[in-house]
Structure 1
């Protein structure tokens, strides 16, 4: 019985939920550290990726998320973007079974894009404001 308990404890710890706190460096682009963690695969499943409350993150280069499995991205802090707003073209969602909850999105051209092959994407309690010429863009939405 003791062996079974130890085995179950080891299995449970190997699939335990983890939290990855996105590091912040004052005045620097915070994207590279996040991209390094995502590329390593250590934060790509059973993880909360946390932008901490009270921290203003500098997202000066695009974030492209790899394939994630059972991951929550929690933006509790603030995100700042480049002054050249043309660099920030929009917010793209691709994949399946995505929930965007408690969001406030203000953007311009193609402010929200649902990508090719995307399925089961839900927005809940979201405020979305696009510029006067564009709204939502669906590319191959199934």
Structure 2
């Protein structure tokens, strides 16, 4: 009989939530704010260079993509982005280090985006087809 009474008490404590949980807050009034930009990813940045042109890379949401393109500081020509689709990737300010320019992009939304750069005069769009860099990026 004691075993049955003990088992009944144990079940009653589990069903009633036997702890001292005094949280009686109303969840119906809870507000959740969604981020307007993707947070930084725990995964490290993905760095690509000219050899990746024409390929596809995968990023996690919030992960950073670094596109490193060669740059001659004495040259009047430079790489310029010509096709950056918004919504999947967000460009960040480029950084030049003399021998190259680093173009950072952050994955801010799921989807696929293509980025394109052309090499030509810095002051105007290229007249003749020249070197280009095209990369497809999948953000998940």
Task: Give the alignment's TM-score, normalised by structure 2.
Answer: 0.23
The one of the two structures with greater contact order (alpha-carbon pairs below 8 A, sep at least 6) is 2
Task: Give the alignment's TM-score, normalised by structure 1.
Answer: 0.23
